[in-house]
């Protein structure tokens, strides 16, 4: 991932230094497991752990000759130990025992960071939903005015979706935190299965129930799919904000900093660049998920067609996910909510969004649904054409006056129209409690 989108706390998880450090952690855990089983002397393992080190530069130098990164790593560690105890290092293991198990450690750490950020977003959405439970605005379907809603309801929808994302991320972390120390084809030909159990336990991850030379890549596909879903939620939020920032709407706007410029040619521009960036990055997340699906099917017990792809998509997907979550929180905290403009838009056409309530009122007053629909639709179309306001046109209709009389005016109360949303906000309060307990 380019530096522009790499937050330091997750960038450090995916450095070469961190990779080799995790490899060393796995190797030494295996040695300690073997010592606990009496296969090798514990004092020699302690000497090995004390002396073992590596140099990224030296590993890269050796790899240029061997064209094998794990061999280069093992050779460099042996150089730093410079003792007969080095013979215990990488004994009975295949490269993927180390690479996949260590990869699980780094993927787990990356997902922990993402989970923390996702919880923060969920809490923020809950707070904003309750804050805007009475912020009335027009609801839209197909991009066209539909019926009144409240901004808090939109935020509630996103909050509950983020709760589902938290469940997905929790499960993805569990799926990812799995290692294997089972040898070249996974049948423990040169390593005691107890070594795997002890070493993985020490490392804080589960041991695969069955593996080939590699941990099975359905796990990684699930992680990448989960991150893609999280990305789509962020995209949903960003798309709503950037759509509402359009000149003709101007109900919501992302923050615009002092000294910020919108266009090199048009000084009036205030563009939703952060939200557009997030929508673009969500496309990347879906692409990474596709790679995860492709990586699952390998030849027989293992090939390395997955390896080159994972070197890119696992760091990039986790880095992008954290950046997207952090950025959408920034947008929401600085969100510009124009309540006055919301009411203006709600009343476009003279109350045309209340057509459904008028229709039902006429039916309740004894009119057939088809006749009522025809009257209301006719008034609405005339209002759209600018003939007059919808409410005034209805008031001029003799049959409407006869059926509804003074009750007509009350049908245009937006607060009454959203009176039943209270049940949603009761559920939001419950969600707030669940998030606080977590």
User: Which of 258, 176, 247, 163 shows the shortest CA–CA distance to 215?
Assistant: 176
The CA-CA-CA angle for residues 55, 56, 59, to 5°, reads 85
Annotated catalytic, 68?
A: no
Q: What's the distance, CA 202 to chain centroid? A: 30
**Two tokens, residue 219:** 């796990």
Give the three-class secondary structure for 68. Answer: coil
**Two tokens, residue 308:** 């080159």
**Two tokens, residue 408:** 């007509």
- CA distance to 144, 162, 356, 419, per residue, from 404 (Å): 27, 44, 14, 21
User: Can you spell out the DSSP letters for 200-226?
Assistant: HHHHTSEEPSS-SSS--THHHHHHHHH
Q: What is the distance between the alpha carbons of residues 240 and 160, in angstroms, rounded to a whole number?
A: 16
Instruction: Please check whether residue 138 is in contact with residue 426, taking contact to mean a CB–CB distance below 8 angstroms.
Output: no
Annotated catalytic, 129?
A: no
Instruction: Please check whether residue 203 is in contact with residue 101, taking contact to mean a CB–CB distance below 8 angstroms.
Output: yes
Instruction: Please check whether residue 139 is in contact with residue 186, taking contact to mean a CB–CB distance below 8 angstroms.
Output: no
Q: Which of 68, 263, 305, 368 is catalytic?
A: 263
Q: What is the distance between the alpha carbons of residues 309 and 315, in angstroms, rounded to a whole number?
A: 11
Q: What is the distance between the alpha carbons of residues 23 and 167, in angstroms, rounded to a whole number?
A: 30
Helix ranges, 151-203 (H): 151-176, 193-203
Catalytic (active-site) positions: 142, 263
């Amino acid at each position: 991932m380019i530096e522009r989108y790499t937050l330091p706390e997750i960038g450090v998880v995916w450095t070469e230094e961190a990779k080799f450090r995790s490899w060393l952690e796995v190797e030494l855990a295996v040695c300690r497991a073997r010592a606990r089983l009496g296969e090798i002397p514990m004092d020699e393992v302690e000497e090995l752990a004390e002396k073992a080190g590596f140099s990224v530069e030296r590993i890269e130098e050796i790899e240029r000759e061997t064209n094998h990164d794990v061999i280069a790593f093992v050779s460099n560690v042996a150089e730093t130990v410079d003792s007969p105890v080095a013979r215990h290092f990488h004994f009975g293991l295949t490269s993927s025992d180390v690479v996949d198990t260590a990869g699980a450690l780094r993927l787990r750490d990356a997902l922990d960071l993402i989970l923390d950020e996702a919880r923060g977003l969920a809490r923020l959405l809950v707070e904003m939903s309750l804050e805007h439970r009475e912020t009335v605005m027009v609801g839209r379907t197909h991009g066209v005015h539909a019926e009144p809603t409240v901004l808090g309801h939109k935020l509630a929808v996103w909050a509950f979706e983020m709760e589902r994302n938290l469940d997905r991320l929790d499960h993805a972390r569990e799926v990812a935190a799995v290692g294997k120390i089972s040898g070249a084809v996974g049948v423990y030909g040169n390593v005691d299965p107890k070594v795997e159990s002890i070493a993985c336990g020490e490392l804080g991850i589960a041991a695969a129930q069955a593996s080939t030379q590699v941990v099975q890549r359905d796990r990684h596909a699930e992680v990448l799919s989960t991150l893609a879903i999280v990305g789509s939620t962020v995209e949903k939020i960003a798309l709503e904000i950037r759509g509402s920032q359009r000149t003709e709407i101007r109900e919501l706007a992302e923050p615009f900093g002092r000294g910020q410029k919108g266009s090199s040619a048009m000084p009036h521009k205030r563009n939703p660049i952060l939200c557009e960036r997030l929508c673009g990055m969500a496309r990347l997340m879906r692409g990474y998920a596709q790679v995860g699906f492709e990586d699952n099917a390998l030849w027989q017990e293992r090939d390395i067609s997955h390896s080159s792809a994972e070197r890119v998509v696992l760091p990039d997907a986790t880095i992008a996910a954290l950046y997207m979550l952090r950025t959408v929180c920034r947008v929401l905290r600085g969100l510009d909510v124009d309540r006055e403009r919301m009411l203006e838009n709600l009343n476009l056409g003279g109350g045309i969004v209340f057509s459904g309530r008028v229709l039902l009122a006429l039916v309740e007053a004894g009119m057939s649904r088809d006749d009522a629909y025809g009257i209301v639709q006719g008034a609405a179309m005339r209002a759209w054409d600018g003939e007059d306001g919808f409410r005034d046109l209805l008031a001029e209709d003799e049959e409407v006056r006869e059926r509804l009389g003074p009750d007509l005016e009350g049908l245009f109360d937006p607060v009454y129209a959203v009176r039943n949303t209270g049940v949603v906000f009761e559920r939001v309060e419950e969600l707030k409690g669940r998030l606080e307990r977590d």
